[in-house]
Structure 1
Amino acid sequence: MPPKFRAILALVTAAIVAVPGAVAAQTQEGGATRMVAPAAGVVRLKSANSFDETLVRLKADVQAKGIRFFDAIDQSGLGAQADLKTARSTLVLFGNPPLGVQFLQSNPYAGLDWPVRMLVLEEADGSVWVAWTDFAYIADRYAITDKGPQFKMASEVALSIASAATGR
């Protein structure tokens, strides 16, 4: 793993905060332990920024990396339109089609998890988080065993984007 990503991984490992019900999971990047949200395969990183700043930074880093931005869905806004209150959350969809399509070539049902999704969420205590599905979990979910280097790259890029967005 390049030193730059090793340093990012070390920062993220130190910055991720456990939540009640969270479970420890081993990453494939050197066996470092990180905490995952209380949902199978979900990784989350606490932001040092406000909700709006986290969202702006996430989109900016996607653009700076030359990754294709697809959409941002204001889930709490949609809920408000239906008179349903929910935590402030925005789902951001982005990806690199030449990379993502390789996963679909291995298992077309992997299209259920592509393009990449990152959720910016504000919890009741005001803390802001960026969450995404762990790529090792996706590989396992779709029994994709022939794209290890591609999944590793996707994991590193996702971690880099989340780190840029959260300031961690």
Structure 2
Amino acid sequence: MKKLILVFVLAIVTSLSASDIIVKQSNCSVDKTVKNIKKIVKKKGLSVFATINHKGNAKMVGMKLRASKMVIFGNPKLGTALMKQDMRVGLDLPLRILVFKDKNGKVQMAYRDGSWLADKHIIDAPKKVQKINKGMDNITTKAGQCKKG
């Protein structure tokens, strides 16, 4: 019983500390949101490196999954500056936004707060982290704007 309580407490603490993940609702479909993200990212002069279709990958192995795609993108100049401080930052770069349909059928966009990089790696770059946060907020806000109906 004590082990079960410990596991429960650890699960709660872990979920509370997961506040570095920001989730925002999109008024668009998963596909339209992804298309919007790519367009916005390219317009900002960033590179789109890949789009991963989690639902498509699940289907290839005979499994079902709600719509879920991840856009991987970044700014090599910014990423390189951070990696020069701590090469392990490369584990968390490039940036990514997960677009998915939740269990209620609503489209969500999820991404990590830029402070994750500073908290988990040895970097001193508050302005760069702030730039990442502002950029991710702007991208997701714009990407999720579609007329309802």
Q: So what's the TM-score if we normalise by structure 2?
A: 0.82
CA distance in 1, matches of 2:34, 2:86: 31
Separation of aligned partners in 1, 2:66 and 2:84: 36
In structure 2, C-alpha distance between the alignment counterparts of 1:40 and 1:156, rounded to whole Å = 17
Q: Distance in 2 between matches of 1:99 and 1:137?
A: 15
Residue of structure 1 equivalent to 2:129: 151
Matches within 5 A, 1:49-88: 49-88=28-67
- Bigger relative contact order (CA 8 A; separation at least 6): 2
How many residue pairs get aligned? The number is 133
Give the drift of 1:40.
4.9
Find the counterpart in structure 2 of residue 113 from structure 1. Answer: 92
Q: How much has 1:156 moved relative to structure 2?
A: 0.7
What one-letter code is carried by the residue in structure 2 that aligns with 1:153? K
Q: What CA deviation, in whole Å up to 9, does each residue of 1:21-65 have, x standing for no partner?
A: x75xxxxxxxxxxxxxx8452111111112221111111101111
RMSD: 1.9
Q: Which residue is 1:128 aligned to?
A: 107
Q: Give the whole-Å Cα distance in 2 for the aligned partners of 1:149 and 1:39.
A: 23
Q: Which residue of 2 aligns with 1:14?
A: none
**Structure 2 residue matching 1:151: 3-state secondary structure:** helix
Residues in 1 aligned to 2:117 and 2:36: alpha-carbon distance in whole angstroms: 25
Runs of 4+ in 1 over 3 A off after TM superposition: none
Residue 135 (structure 1) shift: 0.5
Match of 1:31 in 2: none
Shift of 1:69: 0.8
Indicate the structure with greater helix content.
2
- What TM-score do the two structures reach when normalised by structure 1? 0.73
Cα shift at 1:78: 0.4
